[in-house]
Amino acid sequence: MESHKFLYTGAILLFMLYVWYAFVYERKINICDQPSRWRANLLGANVRKRNVCDISHDDDMWYYKGKSTCVGYGKPREKCNWRERVCAGGHTMGSYMSQAREVAKAITSKGGMHRECPLVYVGAD
């Protein structure tokens, strides 16, 4: 009977760790911690050198200073839901350079979010 308490406690702790990882833990990767091709693409898209290290991404979105740019991140031919984000390739993520161009547009927009973000509504802050 006593050993079951340890199993239940362990299961509860593992579940809590999973919930924390899935919903709380930020998995954003800073561009300055990435291969230099991303920095080169961003600089080529006219992002100022001082702003490059403020750009990061997670598995599917680009961020600027920790806030979403609404620009999709991913491999060039990866499908992109254009109803939820700006897709540099139409219905795909688009080339790395086209993603960099869209990120550059976003970070120069008011609030750091892309002007064509489909989730931004008229009158929203």
Tell me the whole-structure pTM to 2 decimals: 0.74
Highest mean pLDDT pick, 7-11, 24-28, 99-103 = 99-103
**Residue 33 scores a pLDDT above 60:** yes
> Angle, nearest 10°, between helix axes 96-107 and 36-44?
60
- For residue 125, pLDDT over 50 is answered with no
**Neighbouring residues of 74: CB distance < 8 A, sequence distance ≥ 6:** 59, 60, 80, 93
Q: Which residue has the tokens 């991404």?
A: 57
